Amino acid sequence: MKKLAILLFLSISFSGVHAQIQESLDLEKAIQIGLENNFQIKIAVENVNLREREMQIGAGELFMPRVDATYLRSYSKEDVEQTFINDPTPRQIDDAKSRNKNFTIVGIYGFRPESVVTMRRLGQLTEISELDAKVTVENTVAGISTAYYRLIVELQRYQVLKETLALSKARLNISQAQYELGGAGKRDFLTAQVDYNSDSSLLITQEQIIQNSRVNLNELMAVNPKEEYMVKDTILIADVLRFEDLEENAILENKQLLINQRLKNVAFLQIRELQASRLPVLNLNGNYVNNTFNSDAGFLLQNQREGFNYGGNITINLFSGLTLNRRIQNAKVQERIQDYTLDQYEIQLKSDIQRAFNIYTKNLQLQKIELANYQVAKENSEIALERFRLGISSYLEFRDAQVNLLTAENRLISSIFNIKEQEIELMRLSGRIFFQSSMEELTLKP
């Protein structure tokens, strides 16, 4: 694709915009600032951290044994009356003391067959959270890119209006001179004054649009809304995109599609997890006991025990009121829903790419037409101004040429921005938002 030079007299350091430009800001720097500061990205990253910790906690609960230690000391002081079988005479003991000291370590390990499936499901959920974070990053990059180019376009429109105002001022001066010299009526002079005021109003309105465009970009970068900077005066357009490449890459790299695929896997694993819960559960246990008991009453004055106990059991559920069956049926329904959701998103994704590509290709065609139209309108405006200066054309002819030039310039600027906007959208949809291709420059020069 040939380089296209669009001769639009543009200088981004505008004296008419009431702003103090402090530093230059290119798209790469804007994206870097946004990725570092954007709070949605920070939230997405923290969600990934939470999901990873939940997976670690789940692994610990499912596969690691549980060990508890207990230390017990107890005392009692009681009045005791005892009668023994070989001595019918009651025995009275006042303030009989007893002491008990017990130390126990208990270890329990239970293996549930569904734990293996559970870990796979938790792994899929962790991947989904990571893909969600990537979606947030891609949307942020796309938003910053669009807002950055929108600011450039609005600055270009400002310069176009500024040039239009200069033409209106020239016409006003000519009309005033002709009126004062008696070569034209006052009506022509007043009409020129009205048109000049109208163009001045449009310029002020454009200043407001530029200010809000800056605020929008600053918001996406998470910086002070009043931050001001100089932006480049060019819009870079990639080589012509191929629909087949975009669609193929979207199937492999679109993060939202990958999320839906993972959700389908989660639904499938949920069924397997419930089915595996029907399998026997193995429980192993062991404990260490150190117990000392002292008493002033009874046959045993002291009893001390120390040693290990261990064992195990296998448990299988025979009947749970058909609850498990219902849960499995619900999980199968959820899997079918996720299948439909995935198929629906695939159709939506292909449709979105097709729509964006249609707009993209049509604006490529429009850009060529608008460029040629702009060149004709510019030449016509110059001729009309000279004819008006010589007094051989009316103010209506000059104003008509002036309005046509303004319209042609705005349409050309819009076509360029629409190309870039759809290019960004196609890169986002195809998962190539960070893709670096050879760029072609549409230069806007004086």
How many Å apart are CA 312 and CA 280, to the nearest integer? Answer: 13
Tokens matching residue 61: 């609960």
pLDDT band per the 50, 70, 90 thresholds, residue 432? confident
pLDDT in the model for residue 435: 44
Using 50, 70 and 90 to split pLDDT, how confident is the model at 85?
A: low
Confidence of residue 10 (pLDDT cuts 50, 70, 90): very low
Domain spans of the chain? 15-64+113-279+323-444, 68-111+284-315
Mean pLDDT of the chain: 81
Rounded to an integer, the average pLDDT of 13-18 is 33
What is the 8-class DSSP label of residue 171? H
pLDDT over 60 (residue 7) = no
Whose tokens are 């448990």? That residue is 315
The domain covering 15-64+113-279+323-444 belongs, at the CATH homologous superfamily level, to Outer membrane efflux proteins (OEP) (1.20.1600.10)
Q: What pLDDT shows up at residue 260?
A: 94
Give the tokens for residue 418: 């629409």
The span from the CA of 423 to the CA of 425, in Å, is 5
pLDDT category of residue 1 using cuts at 50, 70 and 90: very low
Does this model's pTM top 0.85? My answer is no
Check whether 437 has a pLDDT greater than 80.
no
For the sheet containing 281-295, what is the strand order?
66-84, 87-111, 281-295, 302-315
Question: What are 398's two structure tokens?
Answer: 């000059």
Asked whether 232 and 12 are in contact (CB, 8 A), the reply is yes
Q: Is pLDDT of 440 > 70?
A: no
pLDDT for position 273? 86
Is the pLDDT at 6 greater than 50, yes or no?
no
Count Cα atoms within 13 angstroms, Cβ side, for 151: 27
Number of separate helices (H) and strands (E) present in the chain: 8, 9
What's the token pair of residue 112?
A: 């549930």
User: Which CA distances in Å does 262 have to 81, 125, 246, 418?
Assistant: 73, 8, 22, 34
Each residue's pLDDT tens digit, 309-346: 888 888 887 877 788 888 889 999 999 999 999 999 99
Mean pLDDT for the stretch of residues 360-382: 89
Please state, as a whole number, how many other Cβ atoms lie within 10 Å of the Cβ of residue 257.
20
- Say whether pLDDT at 127 is over 60: yes
Strand partners, 312: 284
Q: Give the tens place of pLDDT for each residue, 278-298.
A: 888 888 888 888 888 777 666
pLDDT band at 243 (very low <50, low <70, confident <90, very high): very high
The predicted-structure confidence for 180-197, as pLDDT tens digits, reads as follows: 776 566 777 787 888 889
Residue 19 has pLDDT above 50, yes or no: no
For the cut 80, the answer to whether the pLDDT of residue 95 exceeds it is no
User: Which of 39-43, 82-86, 237-241, 431-435 bottoms out in mean pLDDT, i.e. has the lowest?
Assistant: 82-86
Flag whether pLDDT at 443 surpasses 50.
Answer: no
Query: pLDDT grade, residue 108 (50/70/90)?
Result: confident
pLDDT at 59 (0 to 100):
65
Contacts of residue 334, defined as CB under 8 A and 6 or more positions apart, other chains included, come to 267, 270
pLDDT tens digits along 377-425: 888 888 887 887 777 777 777 778 888 888 888 888 888 899 999 999 9
pLDDT of 374: 87
Share above pLDDT 90 across residues of the chain, in percent, rounded to a whole number: 26
Q: So what's the pLDDT on residue 259?
A: 93
The band of 299, judged by pLDDT with boundaries at 50, 70 and 90, is low
pLDDT higher at 22 or 293: 293
**HSE of 421, CA atoms in CB hemisphere, 13 A:** 18
Q: Where are the alpha helices (DSSP H) in 287-394?
A: 323-390
